[in-house]
Amino acid sequence: MLATAIIVFREVLEAALVVSIVLAATRGVTRRALWVGGGVLGGLLGATAVAWFAEAIAAAASGVGQELFNATILFAAVIMLGWHNIWMSRHGRELAKDLKNMSAAIRSGTRPMHVLAAVVAMAVLREGSELVLFLYGVAASAPNEASGMLAGALTGIGIGVAVGATLYLGLLRIPSSRLFAVTGWMILLLAAGMASQGAAFLVQADVLPALGQRVWDTQGLISDEGIVGRVLHALVGYTAHPDGIQVLFYLITLCGILTLMKIVNAPTRANPLAGAAAAARGMQNHSS
């Protein structure tokens, strides 16, 4: 039972942390529970489907289908997280001003909730499909231990969700004027970490060169297998000994999203709306 709980916890952890960051980042958005819940549900359905077709996926693309599939999911999530941040760099300041007086447009329709729901779904799908396969394996090989397995699985899920909830409650303690700046950075690092992970899958598939194995090795400092290493892996893409290409993907993603955020946020002549918004902000600052 304990072994089951540990494995389940490991698989749940990453998805739970993604969900808690998304929940914190969408504080004040109406019907966000519906979006996030929908994302989790969609991810679980997807995970079951992926587990069902695991053999077909693995055999695809001359044996590297699984790697390509994982990399695709990760890069799709990176694009969506980047999109969300770029959107927020334009509208975030209005959101942060006052959560209660947020304009109705931002609260409901225009906020890219579907993007974040998709990110949640993809995180759950990726981790969940391995979980489904594992639990199926246990159930198939020892049918009379089903109750122990169920207890282990529930314990693992419970601890994973508890860690996610702790992060979420911690984030909620941040004053709302700063909350979106913090969640913005967390989402940025999440995206960079996922890009690095995606690159690792492409190296494994032999599609990309490693560009140097073990650029550094901090296994002695923070081990990949330990709880701290796993949490950091999920949050900021930590790995004890990365390939050169992982570092490259990490930095390109980080700089790419930051640059686009700057470009979009800059009030230019070409975009009178952004200019007007900036002017309005300036006026408000003077009067207050």
Partner 1 sequence: MKKSLTSLLLTFLALGAGFSVAEALAADDTFNLTIKDHRFEPAQLDVPAGKKLKLIVRNLDPTPEEFESRDLKREKVIAGKGQATISIGPLKPGTYGFVGEFHESTAKGQIVAK
Enumerate binding residues for partner 1 (CB under 8 A).
3, 7, 54-55, 58-59, 63-64, 66-67, 130, 133-134, 136-138, 140-141, 200, 203-209, 213, 224-225, 239-241, 243, 248, 252, 255-256, 259-260, 263
In angstroms, what is the minimal distance from the CB of 191 to partner 1?
Answer: 15
211: left (phi over 0), alpha (psi -120 to 50) or beta: left
CB nearer to partner 1: give 102 or 138: 138
Question: How many CB atoms within 10 Å of residue 71?
Answer: 24
Q: Which is nearer to partner 1, 51 or 119 (CB)?
A: 51
Which of residues 183 and 239 has its CB atom nearest to partner 1 in the complex?
239
Residue 228 vs 276, nearer CB to partner 1:
228
Distance between CA atoms of residues 98 and 288, nearest Å? 14
Q: At closest approach, how far in Å is the CB of 285 from partner 1?
A: 29
CA distances from 207 to 62, 191, 199 (A): 12, 21, 9
Q: Distance (Å, rounded) from C-alpha 134 to C-alpha 2?
A: 14
- In the complex, least distance from residue 132 CB atom to partner 1, rounded to whole angstroms: 10
Considering beta carbons, is residue 22 or 243 the nearer one to partner 1? 243
Angle 278-282-283 from CA coordinates, rounded to 5°: 120
Nearest-approach distance from CB 30 to partner 1, in angstroms: 34
- Chain centroid offset of residue 29 CA: 19
Across 131-279, the runs of DSSP E, i.e. the strands, are: none
Nearest residue (CB) to partner 1, 116 versus 195: 195
The least CB distance from residue 74 to partner 1, in Å, is 13
Q: CB of 124: closest distance to partner 1 in angstroms?
A: 16
- Neighbour-count burial of 175, counting CB atoms closer than 10 A to its CB (0-12 exposed, 13-18 middle, 19+ buried): exposed
Report the distance separating Cα 191 and Cα 74, nearest Å: 9
